[in-house]
């Protein structure tokens, strides 16, 4: 019987991607994403939101594409294989790292959203005498 291991995440990039090369010359790009979730309500009735952090690794050609397209704060869809990893931190506490080896990613926000805020309208093109007149839908003859 065939088996499948797949995780899909949508979240905001938490740190700038870092492109490295393995000793064998294979590219790997690492970054983190934050995924927010509602975990219930407090005693006062307010929603309790929690943030889960995932470490993402992209390999080979996907790594190079990630380095060019991904930046801190952007909304990204990541698809890949999930691997929880246990480690001991500097204080001697056992911790779990949520690692994902990405097989694909997709940017979900546009550069315009990131630079001017969601829903921001682009500035009107400027001509030699100030802003050019934009398209008026009332000028359509039909």
| Architecture of domain 7-121 in this structure | Beta Barrel (2.40)
Which one, of 84, 82, 106, lies nearest residue 11 by Cα? 106
Tokens for 75? 């909304």
pTM: 0.69
**Is 54 in contact with 99 (CB distance < 8 Å)?**
yes
**Is 108 in contact with 75 (CB distance < 8 Å)?**
yes
Q: In a structure prediction context, what are the per-residue pLDDT tens digits for the chain, which is 142 residues long?
A: 888 889 999 999 999 999 999 999 999 999 999 999 888 888 888 888 899 999 999 999 999 999 999 999 999 999 999 888 898 999 999 988 889 999 999 999 876 555 554 444 344 444 445 444 454 555 554 4
């Amino acid at each position: 019987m065939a088996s499948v291991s797949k995780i899909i995440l949508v979240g905001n990039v938490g740190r700038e991607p870092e492109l490295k090369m393995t000793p064998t010359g294979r590219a790997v790009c690492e970054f983190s994403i934050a995924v927010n979730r509602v975990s219930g309500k407090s005693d006062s009735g307010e929603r309790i939101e929690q943030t889960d952090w995932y470490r993402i690794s992209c390999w080979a050609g996907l790594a190079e594409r990630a380095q060019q397209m991904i930046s801190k704060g952007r909304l990204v869809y990541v698809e890949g294989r999930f691997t929880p990893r246990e480690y001991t931190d500097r204080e001697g506490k056992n911790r779990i790292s949520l690692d994902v080896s990405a097989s694909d990613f997709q940017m979900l926000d546009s550069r315009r959203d990131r630079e001017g805020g969601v829903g921001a309208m682009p500035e009107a093109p400027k001509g030699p005498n100030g802003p050019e007149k934009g398209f008026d839908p009332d000028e359509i003859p039909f």
